[in-house]
């Protein structure tokens, strides 16, 4: 079993936490709301580790944390309203969902395949120091197993995740409060996706208009706490394929060949070794690559429903749904 280190809130602890994140490990750290479970957001395999550790049931988009507004502008496109919100409420408990910038380095998996990205600059001094030392966006949902109570100190984190993550940076008890407010600035009226630490009234007073609260039910989440449309390929998706038809693109898993794969228009293997973490890391980018091949159908070989396989299959079923 992995041994979870308890790191102190000093120069040595920060250096070790940043080094762990840079090499693809998982580190829990305090924010002004709760402890987050951090991974290098640019490293899809590291992000897959978050889902595995939390036993998260599906690949919902994760909020990426940054040290400054300037760093956030590398990842997302901020219109006038988003810029005003960032200037007014960052650092702080506000997450902005904005279109991805051409320079965005946040992985497809952290964005759940979407062309938008959720960004936040936290106010906690230890979180800020860790992000500065890491020098890249850090994806960080709450540091607990999925469905359990969010943690507000290192003991809570270890009670849920000891042996499942590399380290927890112990900054004492975080300020107990609600999660960050999430606002989408994706064209049209800004939309409140999740109420949180910045009151709606303060946001509406700043921007001089009411927030839209309409949601698009029945589809996958645009951000934590809200449902909206998700990435689906232009091609049809055929699941649990036992053979590949001529002209189809093939998305394989494992070492066993599928009959007809040699005649596929394009062929990619999520993990030849049958590693579900590796498969999760490749899922969205491989779907995009196969879609770009021009094939009318992407045939997907069977993937186990165990562990991360449940989340992989959830996303594939959404991509294959009638539309």
User: CA-CA distance, 92 to 145, in Å (whole number)?
Assistant: 24
Question: Is 80 exceeded by the pLDDT of residue 217?
Answer: no
Q: How are beta strands 167-170 and 27-30 bridged, if at all? A: parallel
* Interval 230-253 mean pLDDT: 89
Is-contact 153 174, C-beta < 8 A? yes
Three-state DSSP class for 160? helix
Instruction: Please tell me the predicted confidence (pLDDT) of residue 223.
Output: 60
Query: How many whole angstroms separate alpha carbon 106 and alpha carbon 114?
Result: 11
pLDDT at 120: 97
User: What is the residue-wise DSSP string for 53-94?
Assistant: HHT-SS----PEE-S-HHHHHHHB---HHHHHHHHHH-SSSE
* 3-class DSSP assignment, residue 267: strand
The reported pLDDT for the residue numbered 226 is 44
The answer, yes or no, to whether residue 219 has pLDDT greater than 70, is no
Angle at which helix 309-320 crosses helix 276-291, to 10 degrees, equals 20
pLDDT averaged over every residue in the chain: 90
Q: What are 84-137's pLDDT values in tens digits?
A: 999 999 999 999 999 999 999 999 999 998 999 999 999 999 999 999 999 999
In this prediction, what percent of the chain has a pLDDT beyond 70? Answer: 92
């Amino acid at each position: 079993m992995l041994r979870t280190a308890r790191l102190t809130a000093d120069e040595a602890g920060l250096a070790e936490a940043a080094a762990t994140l840079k090499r693809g490990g998982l580190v829990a750290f305090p924010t002004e709301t709760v402890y987050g479970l951090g991974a290098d957001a640019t490293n899809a395999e590291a992000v897959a580790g978050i889902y595995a550790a939390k036993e998260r049931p599906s690949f919902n988009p994760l909020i990426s944390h940054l040290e400054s507004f300037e760093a956030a502008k590398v990842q997302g496109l901020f219109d006038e309203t988003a810029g005003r919100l960032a200037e007014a409420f960052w650092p702080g408990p506000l997450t902005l969902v904005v279109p991805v910038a051409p320079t965005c380095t946040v992985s497809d998996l952290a964005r759940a395949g979407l062309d938008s990205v959720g960004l936040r600059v936290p106010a906690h001094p230890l979180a800020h120091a860790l992000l500065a030392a890491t020098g890249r966006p850090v994806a960080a949902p709450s540091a607990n197993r999925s469905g359990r109570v969010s943690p507000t100190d290192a003991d809570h984190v270890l009670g849920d995740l000891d042996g499942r993550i590399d380290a927890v940076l112990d900054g004492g008890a975080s300020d107990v409060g609600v999660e960050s407010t999430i606002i989408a600035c994706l064209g049209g009226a800004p939309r409140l996706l999740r109420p949180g630490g910045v009151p709606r009234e303060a946001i509406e007073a700043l921007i001089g208009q009411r927030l839209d609260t309409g949601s698009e039910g029945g589809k996958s989440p645009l951000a934590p706490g809200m449902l909206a449309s998700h990435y689906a390929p232009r091609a049809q998706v055929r699941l649990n394929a036992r053979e590949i038809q001529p002209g189809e693109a093939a998305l394989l898993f494992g070492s066993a060949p599928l009959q007809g794969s040699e005649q596929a228009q394009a062929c990619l293997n999520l993990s030849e070794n049958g590693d579900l973490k590796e498969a999760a890391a490749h899922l969205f980018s491989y779907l995009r690559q196969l879609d770009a091949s021009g094939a009318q159908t992407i045939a997907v070989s069977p993937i186990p429903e165990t562990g991360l396989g449940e989340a992989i299959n959830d996303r594939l079923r959404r991509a294959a749904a009638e539309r």
